[in-house]
């Protein structure tokens, strides 16, 4: 295999061997479930490294959808860094409890982008039109052995909507 194997890998990565204009099919999204994540008042940490840092405690919630139902367990949180210009980096860690009793860890990292005015309203806990900002994430899951292993073998992305006392995240499987 020696020298042949690396050149085959490089050719495959570079797309050599594909007909002109041919490419892999574009991925599609399949709706999996929604999580309504209840949140408490933020814990403000202040300005650190050029961003407003805060922690949003998660107090519970519900999961509904064709692939997963159950509840959001209290005790997790969302660490946020609000940058100048309306870019907010989010990183949430919490647990879901499926209807069959399985406890599933979730790590959801994303970005919310809005005008400075909309960002300030969201930070103050005011209701804003979901069309006035961009809120997307990529989630990884830690399910126990059993029926929910599909969460470990798929890539899921989320679309978020921030409300004053909760967040709704619609999760989609990238096919």
Measured CA to CA, the distance from residue 158 to residue 169 in angstroms comes to 6
Task: Answer whether residue 108 is part of any domain.
Answer: yes
Q: Note the pTM of the prediction, 2 decimals.
A: 0.84
What is the pLDDT, as a whole number, of residue 19? 63
Task: Report the distance separating Cα 20 and Cα 102, nearest Å.
Answer: 48
Q: Residue 140: its pLDDT value, please? A: 97
Closest by CA to 137, choosing from 106, 116, 163, 105, is 106
Q: What is the CATH number of the domain that holds 50?
A: 2.40.160.20
pLDDT digits (tens, 9 = 90+) for 62-77: 999 999 999 999 999 9
pLDDT of residue 3: 45
Residue 106 lies in a domain: yes
Positions in the chain short of pLDDT 50:
1-14
């Amino acid at each position: 295999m020696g020298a042949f194997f690396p050149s085959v890998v490089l050719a495959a990565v570079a797309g050599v061997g594909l007909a002109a204009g041919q490419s892999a099919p574009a991925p599609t999204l399949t709706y999996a479930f929604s999580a309504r994540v209840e949140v408490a008042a933020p814990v403000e940490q202040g300005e650190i490294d050029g961003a407003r840092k805060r922690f949003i405690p998660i107090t519970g919630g519900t999961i509904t959808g064709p692939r997963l139902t159950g509840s959001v367990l209290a005790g997790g949180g969302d660490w946020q860094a609000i940058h100048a210009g309306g870019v907010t980096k989010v990183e949430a860690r919490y647990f879901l409890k499926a209807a069959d009793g399985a406890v599933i860890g979730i790590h959801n990292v994303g970005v919310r982008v809005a005008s400075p005015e909309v960002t300030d309203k969201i930070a103050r806990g005011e209701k804003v039109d979901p069309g006035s900002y961009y809120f997307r994430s990529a989630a990884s899951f830690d399910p126990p052995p059993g029926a929910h292993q599909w969460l470990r073998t798929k890539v899921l992305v989320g679309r978020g909507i921030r409300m004053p006392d909760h967040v709704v995240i619609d999760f989609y499987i990238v096919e």
